[in-house]
Structure 1
Amino acid sequence: MRIEVNWETCVGHGVCEGAAPQVFEVDDDGELQVLVDGDIPDKQLPAVRKAAFACPEHALRLIKSTADK
């Protein structure tokens, strides 16, 4: 699984960072940074799912990668 961010919708609330700080970070300018490139490690998936569900702007979406079948 990988994460897709709708950059037009994301306003940097930081809810995702609170739920999954190993994957998301809001920088000093209020911009979201995704700290994982490509597939989300399996051990991080529950936190990333929580982050996506909790996002007030619904800017995060989990997508199956080509390796997920």
Structure 2
Amino acid sequence: MRISIDHDVCIGAGQCALTAPGVFTQDDDGFGALVPGREDGGGEPLVREAARGCPVRAIEVAD
């Protein structure tokens, strides 16, 4: 699984970090970021749910 966040689109809503905190966090400016070392999702079952929950669709998950 490959996860990417479009930082030009992200508004910092934080839904990703709330849904899958083992994979997503927020950077110093409050925008979505991946937890270091978890760029592949680490088998976290809620990654796709976090992507669906993003209000601006800034998260892409590919297999």
Alignment TM-score > 0.5, same fold: yes
Backbone CA RMSD of aligned residues: 1.3
Deviation by residue 1:14-68 (Cα, 9 ceiling, x = unmatched): 000010001111144212221113x2212x0x2111100000010001012xxxx
Tell me the SS of whatever aligns to 2:9. Answer: coil
% identity of equivalent residues = 39
Gaps of 5+ in 2: none
Structure 1's 28 and 4: CA in aligned 2 closer, same or farther, altered over 3 A? closer
Q: How many residues align?
A: 61
Q: Is the radius of gyration larger for structure 1 or structure 2? A: 1
Identify, as 1 or 2, the structure richer in helix.
Answer: 1
Secondary structure at the residue paired with 1:10? Answer: coil
CA contact (8 A) 2:26 2:33 kept: yes
The runs of at least 4 consecutive aligned structure 1 residues that moved more than 3 Å come to none
TM-score normalised per structure 2:
0.84
User: TM-score w.r.t. structure 1 length?
Assistant: 0.77
